[in-house]
Amino acid sequence: MRLFATIFTLFALIVAVVFADDSISSRYIIVFEKGFKTPSKVVSTVESKLKDLGFSIVYRYNTVLNGFAVTPTNLATFADTYKTQEDVLAKFAEINDADYPFFVEKDQEAKINQ
């Protein structure tokens, strides 16, 4: 029992450290509108174009949603290249596929007020 408590505490600390950084402010969620009807070739092409724009895939959604979370590979370059939220969204719009479009949302922390 004591081992379980120690492991649980260690896990909680690791999660707190991993999610303590401020990277969520520059993370975006991309979800394909047609879900899993979107051909894998289209998904791969969008992924490649995102990498060309300087983004890294940090999470793939492939259970309920078809898409991924992306974050800039280099935050300094990102800040120099994209001055506003509209600049970022405009770049995403340039690579969006007409037949299999995707939605883009800025990743945000969700809170429940009681």
pLDDT of residue 2: 55
Helices (H), the chain: 2-18, 40-52, 75-81, 85-95
Question: Would residue 12 count as lying in a domain?
Answer: no
**Residue 80, in any domain of the structure:** yes
Dihedral sign, Cα of residue 62, residue 47, residue 92, residue 34:
negative
Considering only the C-alpha atoms of the chain, give the largest distance between any 2 of them, rounded to a whole number of Å. 56
**In total, how many domains does the chain have?**
1
- Indicate whether 112 belongs to any domain: no
Does the residue 2 lie in any domain?
Answer: no
Task: Establish if 14 belongs to a structural domain.
Answer: no
- Give the structural domain span for 98: 23-106
Residue 111 CB contacts under 8 Å (≥ 6 apart), including other chains: none
Question: pLDDT 10s digit of each residue in the chain, 114 long?
Answer: 455 444 544 444 443 334 444 334 578 999 999 999 999 999 999 999 999 988 999 999 988 899 999 999 888 888 788 888 888 888 899 999 999 999 998 888 778 887
Residue 59, domain CATH: 3.30.70
